[in-house]
Structure 1
Amino acid sequence: MNLNLIKKTFFILLLTFYITNTSAQSSHVLWYNQPAEYFEESLVLGNGKMGATVFGGANSDKIYLNDITLWSGEPVNPNMNPEAYKNIPAIREALKNENYKLAEELNKKIQGKNSEKYAPLGTLEINNSEKGKAVNYHRELDISNAISKVSYEMAGIKYTREYFVSAPDQIMIIKLTADQKGALNFDINLKSLLKSNVEVRNNILVMTGSAPIHENAGYNVVPKYLSIKDRGTRFTGLVQIKKTDGKITSSRETLTLKDATEAIIYVSVAASFNGFNKNPASEGLDDVGIALQNMNKAFAKSFDKLKESHISDYQKFYNRVDLNLGKTTAPDLPTDERLLRYADGKEDKNLEILYFNFGRYLLISSSRTMGVPANLQGIWNPHLNPPWSSNYTMNINLEENYWLAENTNLSEMHLPLLSFIKNLSVTGKITAKTFYGVDKGWAAGHNSDIWAMTNPVGQFGKEEPMWACWPMAGAWLSTHIWEHYIFTQDKNYLKAEGYPLMKGAAEFCMGWLVPDKNGNLITSPSTSPENQYKLADGFVGATLYGGTADLAMIRECFDKTIKASKVLNIDADFRAKLEKTLGKLHPYQIGKKGNLQEWYFDWEDKDPKHRHQSHLFGLFPGNHITPLKTPDLAEASKKTLEIKGDETTGWSKGWRINLWARLWDGNRAYKMYRELLRYVDPDGKKTEKPRRGGGTYPNLFDAHPPFQIDGNFGGAAAVAEMLIQSDENEIRLLPALPDAWESGSVKGICARGGFEIEMEWNNKMIQKMIISSKKGGKTTLIFGAKKQEIVLKTGERKHINW
């Protein structure tokens, strides 16, 4: 064989290797061949406080800006309905007499104000002077480094843009370049839907304004701005350009750069919010000063330095977990086309990984501000009147946002929620007394906002009890405190902050329970979140006694509080009371259809396929129902899910995937995971055959519809749940592995007890496994029928052979 032939053969082999290894779909990059036209096509960036929604237009780029602390309203008055509790005896009496219609009406008397709204800060526009047709357009978001890029050619000139939002420097950076000298010419302006003023000072574009003060009198009412001194949250947005060449000029509201080759735009935002119980006007932070200080510090640094510290900070969280689901033959396509192909039933394992990775990306990007957790839209909201106020909906959605925090190795991102629970406990003490007549502990309802509002909502009697009247958020949220402890083994946190909050939630439940006619303990009045029953006489209602969901959450709350008191070796008397009360709770009932009853009686559902499945709480996110410990209840849970079917909204799919995983049915969980990734058209897009329903928008945002971020988080959490399940004593490996993922590997997934797992599997058999411990401890590893007792020292890693 001659030398040329050898070289040629080698080149072909090299090219084949390159194509094989680079054209397969990325599990870290979202990319598109066109700019975003709709919000649901945009690419989002965030540092846990500032959010940016990038459209990437060639002639004109639009970026929505958010600050997670910018909300309407001011500190809530928790004592808004001081005598509401006096109605409780009459409601209980009506229920005792089985007069559900009367109970439903009376329950409306146990209502307060609705929540405030998460507000949009503003829109940044970059308008290019050159207008023309862009060719070779490419837009991407690389979630391995949290950087978005746009590139295109126009009139023979190549333009590029790079965007990121830095946590260390609290700044947004946009770098613009042209490959021909002096070819960059653009204007920048800022505007806001809120009351605001825009002007240029010293070549800095300055926007100042304030969020409205209004009682939210419904979800579609335009806020009326009241010019009242010392009221409302102030905000500031600053934009400054750093150039290498060219000339900066300005008009009253616009910055202009002419004849430049490279430019860096610095964007700084801040709000005056200074805590849930402080007036944001008279006691607020200096938003102008903070925005300016962050701007000046960042402006003194080079682009490379800013980028380096941004990536380093972000990757210390993102790089902890690595997931591989085996070989893929999916072609290299833009993400929107990729979703459409996947919706047709085609294989794309890396899309499944990308969705999981994207969930972790979104949590890192939206949950790094203490006391202000990710809301219904994470941190990204362009609307003056966002769907459901983009608030904290605590009968599932807020909690679902955090299901992936601990098991996908993002414990730090859980802290904003945990600190928010502490805020809720303050207003919640007053809510417990004034709305429910319970003197001990704290309670929270269906909705909250940045002001830690805990009252039941409903505009003082105007809304339906099916969603407005529900006092169990404290019981549910308290379980997150135990989750944080059991994953991190942080006993100091549990003792100083966590346990007192758990105890307070449990104390409220103790005071809220009453005996039924059999002497068992129940809640009265009760509702099952957003669902309704239908009686034989045709009456449709929501108010009842002894709802299964209430009791499931109370069981879980008591169980975890008992465990916490044992770990800390405190409160033995209170623990004994909890244990005694736990034994007296009205037991689960299995209905005539073989399902787990949602209601005290075996009533029909108004909608048998309803999106909520709150009465399955004990299966997931709780863990007192399992196929091994409670096979009958697990089977009844399965029957309930079968009756409900798989067609539901985005966040509900996320929950159901986790439920199927807990039933160890990997293939059913995987079927629904595929459905969660079903392509949904942007809300405003007009097409002949629009694709609607629960699923995923072109930018991978969850479609409720409309956009809610909880489905992203629930779906990502479910992937981890399919691979590893754990409790305080054992870790179950590959418990719900679907056939489609017969080979793969995962690194960095966490298990309860403070353990971290790395494993590889092939033909559904574990080939390699390493377990490590954060604080030392023992657990039992389970894989199929095999068990191994493991004892590790702090920081120890151990290879396990099966």
Structure 2
Amino acid sequence: MKITLTIFSFLVTTTLYAQQRDAGLQLWYNKPAVAWEAALPLGNGKTGAMVFGGVGTERLQLNDNTLWSGYPEAGNNPNGPTVLPQVRQAVFEGDYEKAAALWKKIQGPYSARYLPMADLWWRLQSKDTLPASYNRNLDLNNAVATVRYKIGNVQYQRETFISYPAKVLVMRITADKKGSIDGVLDLTSKLHFKVSTSTADYLVLRGKAPKFVANRDYEPQQVIYDSANGEGMNFEVHVKIKTEGGNVVQAGNQLRVSGANTVTIYLSEATSFNGFNKSPGLEGKDPAVEAKANLQKAVALSYEQLKAMHIRDYQSLFKRVELKLSADNGVAKLPTDERLKQYASNPTDQQLQVLYYQFGRYLLISSSRPGSRPANLQGIWNDHVQPPWGSNYTTNINTEMNYWLAENTNLSECHQPLFDFLKELAVNGAQTAKVNYNITEGWVVHHNSDLWAKTSPPGGFDWDPKGMPRWSCWPMAGAWLSTHIWEHYLYTGDKAFLKNAWPLMKGAAQFMLHWLVTDPANGLLVTNPSTSPENTMKIKGKEYQVGMATTMDMSIIRELFTAVIKSGSILKTDKAFCEQVIKAKEKLYPFHIGQYGQLQEWFKDWDDPNDKHRHLSHLFGLYPGSQINPATTPALAAAAKQSLIFRGDVSTGWSMAWKINWWARLQDGNHAYKILSDAFTYIDPTVTRDAMSGGGTYPNLFDAHPPFQIDGNFGATAGITELLLQSHNGELALLPALPDAWKSGSIKGIKARGNFTVAMDWKEGKLVKATITSGSGGLCRISALQPIKEVEVTSNKSKGNNMNPLNTSYGQPPYEKEPKATLTELKVGERYGIDFVTEKGKTYTIVPVN
């Protein structure tokens, strides 16, 4: 009886998933992938696979997010405490060239590289491999990749998914004619490896990662391996085949299947990674133990059970949010790559925009789950031993951008790997602070990190024509990353989380209190040395890399200090420390508006209006920060807008994604929409392009930097949400930057600060209805472009009255104090608003005036 009920429950679950399927949420193609950027990504946070969909030969390119080159190498430089005062003196004297030369004496080695693991090959044993029909797709509804083709009179199908609960990859091959499946399975790797077969249905690949990969990104350089038991990661891939009908035999280091009705392939993998502070070769764990255990558990279940478990787990996250725009105009009937190619001449394909939005959410679910490592520059997908920029954690924008969508698209759980990583960074960062700068309180991270939580300033790019300090002289990542803790609290109201993470925030602020110095010219607190990441100052025709008090530095510190002050008040802790932070915040070097009306990037008015650099780091205070907005700081908002106009719209993929968010914060949805449309430029992966030559999108919807960087996908999805809902200014702004192109639509399930879940419908550019579900209770402030007629709670209605000026004294939600009135209608300029007190768990309907 118990078994019957279990089977019945799986059948019911599968039926429900089929009913919930959105036909528009598929990437599909009428031919196999000929390039990696056309293959389809699968992942469970740890294991990643790129499915090529070949007919005669199928390739699954595999990754494990703990497979990196190297071993723990701090890279700290004891010369730092002696050199740092010299750097600061040179900056104060205006000798910026000397300051940059001195800084190089503090730099250490570059970070480790994220590596490819292996390739799984399935080769069809057939004389005829020319299909009469073909289709491959990735269904975002269930995170399953499917390949269907017909050869002769036989219809074949391959389904592949990677299960988070079961920790395995599963591929099932079926045919509509019995005994038709003949094929050979084998494993290879670009790293050192050996393959063995213990039984006729079991393959094992044992591999070794290099202990060192040279720093140059694009040209093959030195790759150094140690002995089998020395430095460098060990890894294993285990594969088992089950067939219905036919037989499996050992053929050398391959498995040969003949005459099967159905073939199911189970794959598990593991590495010797045993912690960020342990050598994987000398102190690593045995990867065979984990790989065997996971595989044994998986093969004990049926394919149907594994698939149902996978879908149920995945949809518990993915199905939270639904976006609908205009009706399908028929373009969705075309393959995804063809739609992308046609987008420039048909920019009305709003269903492609929806697909791209949900694809961003899919990628985060697939590359960042509790217990995994955080998503890196390419999520968890990489096919190169020497990937661009090491496919590492570039923490001067890219790592942070990876998680901008985690909260507002209702994927808070996917944020957790970043918080776990911060704990490791804090340990190493405390040592870097002490060794490099003689700062004994707090922790620091520079612009680049890796699996080993490296925190020291990395050098190593001897080919960089402008030198290294412009990106290595940047100790601000710990401060920026710590603001993610505050954001997670604002969205979830999880006070226990905030209390547990408080030491991290406090430590980041402690370092900054010691890093700040007093400018003798004005008595204000400044950072010295300081850079605006990867850009250079242009002074009287010369370029310099190192200065002081860049706007980004001061904005990050101001954001962190604000979060620390509010957190300390909520937690009622460290009062004396918080008072110290309050005093320091009051003395921070402020924003400045330059001679061209721009937000000043540098300490002095050195901005070049012709500068088209991809980084606009000085706009941090506009987004993701909350210091600049049109309502409360109109002059600074106008200056930020001028900076955006000077830099232009088209840039690298991630830069364009950031610009979407900036224009959304400026409430210019049409400009944001233009950049979003520009991002749909088709990039052919088979054509060689210069790096950073203008953003676009690859056939599989991966963001093209170029090359591929996943932050562009994540940033654009966050930006689309920001166009529809904002909550950084102490209110829930409904449709604050709705583009004219999105005349009608709906969205549900997105999140706002204060732990509110929001759904909205709009028509002809106007809000029709919104529902707000309160997860924590407390004050809710709504603002919209239309007057609000009433707020309905179940059958009770409250109408607004008493027009009052907007009161921003409550700060950001969740509010510390609540007004006594349950409902107050507010009007400011062209925006209208309502305050009302919510009860935890209740849903409120917002009805605007027609």
- Does the 8 Å contact 1:238/1:269 carry over to 2? yes
What does 1:348-363 correspond to in 2, within 5 Å? 348-363=349-364
Of stretches 656-665 and 155-164 in structure 1, the one that deviates more from structure 2 is 155-164
> 2:194 & 2:22 partners in 1: Cα distance?
45
In 2, distance between residues paired with 1:285 and 1:328?
Answer: 52
CA distances 1:63-90 after superposition (whole Å, capped 9, x unpaired): 1011111111112335x31232210111
Contact 2:215 2:461 in 1 (8 A): no
Is the contact made by 1:727 and 1:753 (CA closer than 8 Å) also made in structure 2?
Answer: no
Q: Which amino acid in structure 1 is aligned with residue 288 of structure 2?
A: V
The answer to whether residue 247 in structure 2 is matched with residue 247 in structure 1 is: yes
How many residues align? The count is 775
Identity %: 48
Confirm or deny that 1:33 pairs with 2:63.
no
- What displacement does 1:710 show? 0.4
Map of 1:91 onto structure 2: 87
For 2:847 and 2:215, the matched residues in 1 are separated by: 61
Aligned partner of 1:479 in structure 2 is: 483
State whether residues 72 and 213 of structure 1, in contact with CA within 8 Å, keep that contact through their aligned partners in structure 2. Answer: yes
Aligned partner of 2:78 in structure 1 is: 82
Note closer, same or farther for the CA distance 1:690–1:584 as it changes in structure 2 (3 Å cut).
closer
Larger mean CA deviation between 342-351 and 708-717 belongs to: 342-351
Q: Deviation at 1:686? A: 6.8
CA contact (8 A) 2:470 2:535 kept: yes
Q: How does 1:483-562 map to 2 (within 5 A)?
A: 483-496=487-500, 498-516=501-519, 517-536=521-540, 538-562=541-565
**Equivalent residues of 1:114, 1:215 under 8 A apart:** no
1:799: which partner in 2? 845
1:216 CA drift (Å) = 4.7
Deviation at 1:27, TM superposition (A): 3.2
CA-CA distance at 1:259 after TM superposition = 0.9
- What is residue 204 of structure 1 aligned with on the other side? 202
Is residue 2:69 matched to residue 1:72?
yes
More deviation in 284-293 or 665-674?
284-293
Alignment match of 2:120 (pick from 111, 124, 127): 124
Which 10-residue stretch deviates more, 312-321 or 770-779?
770-779
User: For the residues of structure 2 that align with 1:369 and 1:287, how far apart are their CA atoms?
Assistant: 20
Q: Which deviates more from structure 2 when the two are superposed, residues 410-419 or residues 725-734?
A: 725-734
Secondary structure of residue in 1 paired with 2:184: strand
Equivalent-residue separation in structure 2 for 1:707 and 1:605 (angstroms):
29
Q: Which residue of 2 aligns with 1:10?
A: none
> Are the structure 2 counterparts of residues 252 and 542 from structure 1 closer, same or farther at C-alpha, using a change threshold of 3 Å?
same
Deviation at 1:224, TM superposition (A): 1.1
Q: Alpha-carbon deviation of 1:128?
A: 0.6
Give the Cα–Cα distance (whole angstroms) in 2 for the partners of residues 571 and 453 of structure 1. 29
TM-score, normalised relative to structure 2? 0.89
- Of residues 701-710 and 284-293 in structure 1, the stretch that sits farther from structure 2 once superposed is 284-293
Cα separation, 2, equivalents of 1:141 and 1:282: 40
Give the aligned partner of residue 102 of structure 1: 98
Match of 1:638 in 2: 641
Aligned counterparts of 1:345 and 1:531: Cα–Cα separation in 2: 36
Q: What's the secondary structure of 2:649's corresponding residue?
A: coil
Cα distance in structure 1, aligned partners of 2:51 and 2:717: 23
- The residue matched to 1:320 in structure 2 has which SS? coil
Partner of 2:107: 111
| Shift of residue 461, structure 1, vs aligned partner | 8.8
Letter of the structure 2 residue corresponding to residue 115 of structure 1:
S
Counterpart CA distance in 2 for 1:721 and 1:293 is 43
Report how far residue 774 of structure 1 moved.
Answer: 1.4
Alignment correspondent of 1:717: 718
| Partner amino acid, structure 2, of 1:796 | K
Compute the RMSD of aligned alpha carbons.
2.0
Structure 1 distance, partners of 2:503, 2:223, is 38
CA drift at 1:215: 6.6
- State whether residues 241 and 264 of structure 1, in contact with CA within 8 Å, keep that contact through their aligned partners in structure 2: yes
Q: Is the 8 A contact 1:679 1:691 kept in 2?
A: no
Q: What SS does the corresponding residue of 2:600 show, helix, strand or coil?
A: coil
Q: What does residue 771 of structure 1 align with? A: 772
Q: Give the match for residue 583 of structure 2.
A: 580
Deviation, 1:794, is 1.8
What residue number does 2:237 align with?
Answer: 237
Q: Which residue identity does 1:56 align to in structure 2?
A: G
CA distance in 2, matches of 1:690, 1:116: 21
Q: Is the 8 A contact 1:25 1:333 kept in 2?
A: no
Q: Amino acid of the residue matched to residue 519 of structure 1?
A: G
**Do the aligned partners of residues 431 and 364 (structure 1) sit closer, same or farther apart at CA in structure 2, a change above 3 Å counting?**
same
Output the CA distance in 2 between the equivalents of 1:25 and 1:365.
19
Alignment of 1:36-47 (within 5 A): 36-47=33-44
Quick check: 582-591 or 42-51, which moved more?
A: 582-591
Deviation for aligned residue 1:239: 1.2
Deviations 1:743-781 (A, max 9, x none): 111110000011110111112222121111112221211
Determine the C-alpha separation between the residues in 2 that align with 1:434 and 1:599.
29
Matched residue SS, 2:741: helix
Structure 1 residues 521 and 337, CA gap change in structure 2 (3 angstroms): same
Q: More displaced, 784-793 or 693-702? A: 784-793
Q: Aligned partners of 1:575, 1:224: CA distance in 2, in Å?
A: 49
Find the aligned partners of 1:106 and 1:696 in 2 and give their Cα distance: 41
What are the Cα deviations for residues 7-49 of structure 1, in whole angstroms up to 9, with x where unaligned? xxxxxxxxxxxxxxx9x99531000000000001000100111
Residues 592/508 of structure 1: CA separation in 2 closer, same or farther (3 Å cut): same
* Alpha-carbon offset, residue 309 of structure 1: 0.4
The TM-score normalised by the length of structure 1 is: 0.94
* Greater than 6 Å deviation, 4+ residue runs: 689-692
Please list the CA deviations of residues 389-412 of structure 1 after superposition, one character each: whole Å capped at 9, or x if unmatched.
000000000000000000000000
Per the alignment, residue 698 of structure 1 pairs with 699
Q: Which runs of 5 or more structure 2 residues have no equivalent in the other structure? A: 1-18, 786-830
Q: Secondary structure at the match of 1:579?
A: helix
Q: Is the 8 A contact 1:161 1:174 kept in 2?
A: yes
In 1, Cα distance between equivalents of 2:90 and 2:41 = 51
TM-aligned CA distance change 1:103 to 1:349, over 3 Å = same
Check conservation: 2:461, 2:468, Cα contact below 8 A.
no
- Cα distance, 1:570 vs. partner? 1.1
Indicate how the Cα distance of structure 1 residues 691 and 230 shifts in structure 2: closer, same or farther if over 3 A, else same: closer
Of 660, 667, 670, the residue aligned with 1:667 is 670
**1:369–1:70 distance in 2 versus 1, CA, 3 Å:** farther
Cα distance in 1 for residues equivalent to 2:38 and 2:460: 35
Q: Secondary structure at the match of 1:789?
A: strand
AA in 2 matched with 1:474: G
Contact between 1:110 and 1:461, CA under 8 Å: does it hold in 2? no
Hey, what does 2:211 align to over in structure 1? 213
Cα distance change on mapping 1:395 and 1:607 into 2, 3 Å = farther
Structure 2: which amino acid aligns with 1:654?
A
Q: Considering Cα pairs closer than 8 Å and 6+ residues apart, tell me whether 1 or 2 has the greater RCO.
A: 1
Q: Shift of the alpha carbon at 1:581?
A: 0.9
Give the distance between the partners of 2:524 and 2:357, measured in 1 at CA: 43
Q: 1:371 to 1:255 in 2, by over 3 A?
A: closer
Q: Which amino acid aligns with 2:325?
A: L
- The match for 2:834 is 788
> Which residue does 1:256 correspond to in 2?
256
Q: Report how far residue 156 of structure 1 moved.
A: 2.3
**Of 214-223 and 588-597, the range deviating more from structure 2:** 214-223
> In structure 1, what is the Cα distance between the partners aligned to 2:175 and 2:104?
62
- 1:40 match: secondary structure: helix
Partner of residue 311, structure 1: 311
Write out per-residue CA displacement over residues 510-539 of structure 1, whole angstroms, 9 at most, x where no aligned residue.
Answer: 101111111111111111100011110x32
How many angstroms apart in 1 are the aligned matches of 2:483 and 2:127?
56
Give the match's secondary structure for 1:297: helix
Q: Which residue of the partner structure matches residue 6 of structure 1?
A: none
State the SS of the aligned residue for 1:275.
coil
Match runs of 1:51-70 below 5 Å: 51-70=48-67
Q: Deviations over 1:712-765 (max 9, x none)?
A: 000000011000000373111100100011211111000001111011111222
**Per-residue CA distance 1:244-300 (angstroms, 9 max, x = gap):** 011101123101100112111111111121211122234323310111111111111
Find the residue that maps to 2:378 and give its secondary structure. coil
For residues 485 and 440 of structure 2, the distance between their equivalents in structure 1, rounded to whole angstroms, comes to 23
SS at match of 2:460: coil
